[in-house]
């Protein structure tokens, strides 16, 4: 496999709704910023991979077809990837493989979503229809007719975990403290959707229930409109671009993916209800490929669809023991951004998790959310001189899709 580097990244402003732009323009803005960041022209890009989760959100089947010309990618290969919440991860995996195989020298991976143009005539608001559109990702025979949603599906996993490990994620105060910390981090993201909000523990605990008993409104990710891009390049091109920009390349060191069974069950290959096996397997594969251990990594951009799942995923990926994920707060493992400032790495024994604010405060435009995470991880590695980072993606019913990428800053950022 050829070496693959991240040489540029760019995102749009994350908003609850963009009335000023269609998804055509959002993707173009993100592409423009990505290529400006890498100081390359569209002519230098060999191929494009699109992360777009849901045709219904974009209001067009084959939405990527309308983007080819807008992004300056005419007569180049274009692949659209859709894999639920993990669409962004799988799009990046596809782009990385295209470079690693030698088929392309440079690949633009770009993802986004235009979700909140959806509208529910009954409630005269967007949210119930957005939830319903996502719920269409569940089958029409068994799951959707029962009222399945992404929230209740992820909470089913959390309830199953709580059955196996009581007294961990079930403490609403611990979850609220994590939310408060993520909020402070989101305040520092110049593109973050909720960068001007202050959310306190008390507000989290007083916000209304979405799913009982583990999910209140302020514990859940947002619906965001926006787009993000990442430019991947092979070693020769990466060094050329790095010379041009003065920014060291960040290398893809490890990559792991795992999808569990759609059907839940006991034994065999069925999806267990007590754990997110896909997260564990994906992370273990990424660590093995990179030759690292979780203890080597201090920067994580995790797909925090819901804060209880955030805690489980941190356990599954080996950063804290399963059943003791509350130690992230109780033992101060989750670094406090107020103490780190804008340019210091976390001290030994601490982890910087979702400095972007994550999907709860930064933004969650599904098809590009994991590119958003990659953008943030690269930004933090460069300014804090952090040698390694992990980017995680999850998606689909009961969190059955999992993906992890380990990336490494060249020479720890020392030039």
Check: CB of residue 39 under 8 Å from CB of residue 244.
yes
Out of 41, 122, 196, 338, the only residue in the binding site for another protein (CB under 8 A) is 122
Q: In what order do the strands lie in the sheet with 352-353?
A: 78-81, 47-51, 106-113, 226-234, 4-11, 250-259, 401-409, 388-395, 299-301, 352-353
What single-letter DSSP state applies at residue 271? B
Q: Does 156 bind another protein (CB under 8 A)?
A: yes
Q: How far is the CB of 347 from another protein (least distance, A)?
A: 38
What single-letter DSSP state applies at residue 137? T
Q: Does 273 bind another protein (CB under 8 A)?
A: yes
Stretch that binds another protein, among 84-92, 141-149, 386-394, 404-412 (CB under 8 A): 141-149
The owner of tokens 């930064």 is: 362
* Alpha carbon distance 96, 111 (integer Å): 15
| β 215-216/250-259 pair status | unpaired
Out of 69, 145, 291, 347, the only residue in the binding site for another protein (CB under 8 A) is 145
Check: CB of residue 3 under 8 Å from CB of residue 249.
no
* Alpha carbon distance 254, 361 (integer Å): 27
Closest to 406 (Cα-Cα) out of 107, 11, 89: 89
Binding mask 190-209 for another protein (x = CB under 8 A): ----------------x-xx
Stretch that binds another protein, among 30-38, 182-190, 258-266, 404-412 (CB under 8 A): 258-266
Q: Is 160 helix (H, G, I), strand (E, B) or coil?
A: helix
Q: Does 296 bind another protein (CB under 8 A)?
A: no
Q: Does 171 bind another protein (CB under 8 A)?
A: no
CA triple 243-245-247, angle to 5 deg: 85
407 phi and psi angles, rounded to 5 deg: -125, 155
Stretch that binds another protein, among 42-50, 97-105, 266-274, 350-358 (CB under 8 A): 266-274
The footprint of another protein on this chain (CB under 8 A) covers a number of residues equal to: 56
Q: Is there a cis peptide before residue 213, judged by omega within 30 degrees of 0?
A: yes
Q: How far is the CB of 316 from another protein (least distance, A)?
A: 17
Nearer to another protein, 209 or 293 (CB): 209
Q: Is 161 helix (H, G, I), strand (E, B) or coil?
A: helix
Stretch that binds another protein, among 51-59, 176-184, 336-344, 370-378 (CB under 8 A): 51-59
Q: Does 266 bind another protein (CB under 8 A)?
A: yes
Stretch that binds another protein, among 3-11, 137-145, 177-185, 351-359 (CB under 8 A): 137-145
* Alpha carbon distance 58, 62 (integer Å): 9
Nearer to another protein, 53 or 232 (CB): 53
Residues 6+ apart with CB under 8 A from 20: none
Q: Does 270 bind another protein (CB under 8 A)?
A: yes
Nearer to another protein, 16 or 413 (CB): 16
Task: Give the pair of three-digit tokens for residue 412.
Answer: 């720890």
Torsion (CA) 136, 139, 144, 150 in degrees, nearest 10: -60
Stretch that binds another protein, among 179-187, 242-250, 267-275, 382-390 (CB under 8 A): 267-275
Nearer to another protein, 145 or 347 (CB): 145
Q: Does 265 bind another protein (CB under 8 A)?
A: yes
Nearer to another protein, 147 or 341 (CB): 147
Stretch that binds another protein, among 116-124, 243-251, 358-366, 405-413 (CB under 8 A): 116-124
Q: Does 59 bind another protein (CB under 8 A)?
A: yes
Site residues for another protein per CB under 8 A: 15, 19-20, 55-56, 59, 117, 119-123, 128-129, 131-132, 134-135, 140-143, 145-149, 151-152, 155-156, 158-160, 162-163, 206, 208-215, 217, 263-270, 273-274
């Amino acid at each position: 496999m050829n070496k693959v580097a991240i040489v540029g990244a760019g995102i749009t402003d994350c908003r609850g709704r963009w009335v000023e732009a269609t998804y055509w323009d959002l993707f173009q803005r993100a592409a423009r910023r990505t290529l400006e960041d890498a100081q390359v022209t569209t002519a230098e890009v060999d191929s494009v991979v699109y992360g777009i989760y849901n045709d219904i959100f974009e209001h067009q089947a084959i939405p990527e077809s309308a983007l080819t010309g807008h992004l300056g990618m005419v007569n180049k290969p274009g692949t659209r990837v859709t894999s639920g919440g993990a669409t962004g991860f799988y799009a990046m995996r596809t782009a990385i493989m295209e470079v690693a195989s030698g088929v392309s020298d440079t690949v633009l991976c770009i993802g986004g979503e235009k979700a909140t143009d959806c509208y529910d005539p009954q409630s005269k608001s967007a949210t119930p229809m957005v939830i319903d559109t996502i719920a269409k990702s569940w089958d029409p025979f068994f799951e959707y007719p029962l009222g399945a949603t992404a929230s209740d599906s992820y909470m089913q996993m959390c309830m199953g975990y709580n059955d196996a490990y009581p007294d961990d994620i079930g403490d609403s105060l611990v979850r609220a403290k994590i939310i408060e910390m993520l909020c402070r981090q989101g305040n520092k993201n110049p593109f973050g959707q909720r960068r001007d909000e202050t959310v306190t523990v008390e507000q989290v605990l007083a916000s209304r229930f979405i799913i009982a008993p583990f999910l209140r409104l302020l514990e859940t990710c947002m619906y965001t409109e926006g787009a993000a891009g990442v430019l991947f390049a092979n070693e020769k091109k990466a060094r050329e671009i790095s010379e041009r920009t003065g920014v060291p390349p960040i290398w893809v060191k490890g990559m792991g993916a795992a999808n569990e069974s759609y059907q839940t069950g006991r034994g065999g290959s069925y999806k267990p209800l007590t754990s997110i096996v896909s997260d564990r397997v994906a992370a273990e594969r990424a660590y093995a490929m990179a030759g690292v251990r979780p203890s080597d990594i201090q920067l994580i951009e995790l797909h925090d669809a819901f804060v209880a799942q955030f805690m489980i995923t941190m356990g599954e990926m080996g950063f804290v023991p399963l059943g003791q994920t509350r130690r992230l707060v109780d033992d101060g493992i989750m670094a406090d951004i107020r103490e780190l400032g804008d340019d210091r790495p976390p001290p030994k024994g601490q982890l910087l998790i979702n400095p972007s604010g994550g999907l709860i405060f930064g933004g969650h435009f599904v098809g590009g959310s994991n590119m958003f995470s990659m953008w943030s991880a690269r930004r933090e590695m460069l300014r804090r001189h952090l040698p390694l980072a992990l980017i995680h993606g999850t998606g689909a019913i009961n969190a059955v899709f999992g993906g992890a990428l380990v990336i490494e800053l060249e020479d720890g950022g020392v030039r």
